Amino acid sequence: MLLHFFKYHGTGNDFILIDNRQDNFPQNDAKLIRNLCDRHYGIGADGLILLERDHSLDFKMRYYNSDGKPGSMCGNGGRCIVAFARFLDMVNDRAAFSANGHHYKAEIEDDIISLSMSDVSHVETHDTHWFVDTGSPHHIEIVDDLAALNVIEKGAKLRYDVYGDTGSNINFVKPGSTDTFEVRTYERGVENETQSCGTGVTAVALAMHHSGRSQSKKIKVRTLGGDLEVHFDGDTSGYFNIKLKGPAVQVFKGYLEC
């Protein structure tokens, strides 16, 4: 099979994008997906995304983690596939697509994609952390020294010891000003720290507002790969009109025989 692929990243969170509107990609081949995402022997990516036909919307997003397994919603991946759809001349300045049975909308301005996220009905508050489902599950906790933290070691321990086989993404946060926070994320499915995580950034923003650490409904979150913004309405009883805003960039494209 000669595979025509495109590589995108959203603040360093990188993805292989494939136009699968002809349904040619062997989507149940987990080994192939793992090999394509392998950074030493394949293209290299945090995940693989198929753009497919949707009968009522612009397109459908099918997402796989780099372990080859189907993933839950990916915020940066969602922004990247919108940029990809515009590259394919499928959309102009707006897009509507489905992913995991949910509908999403996005606005496009140059390489900046503002993606509407799912509503969040509640934020779980625990003694040492918060838990928020923003389309993917997220554990959020504040740490004293974010720069020195061994994210892989501590993230893996929490991911497995606390959340079991199903797991959760783990986010470590350093507060800045009242509307700016820094975060580093351990992602399940990648089983490593990633440069950025869109659903994680969204979860962090909501948790910081819910806990009273920010009064703003426009929060900037700094990741290793760059800055993202989260805008939202609502309060501690629930959040809606949530938007994840930031760049989505095509890095390269090519063909791979596999």
Strands 226-235 and 218-223: antiparallel
Q: Which of 37, 80, 197, 258 is catalytic?
A: 197
74 belongs to the catalytic site? yes
Tokens 């707006």 belong to 94
Exposed e or buried b per residue across 102-137, where buried means at least 16 C-beta atoms within 10 angstroms of its C-beta: eebbbebeeeebbbbbbebeebeeeeebbbbbbbbb
Distance between CA atoms of residues 164 and 189, nearest Å: 13
Q: At what angle do helices 75-87 and 198-210 cross, to 10 degrees?
A: 130
197 belongs to the catalytic site? yes
Query: Which tokens in the block code for residue 180?
Result: 């700016």
Residues involved in catalysis: 74, 197
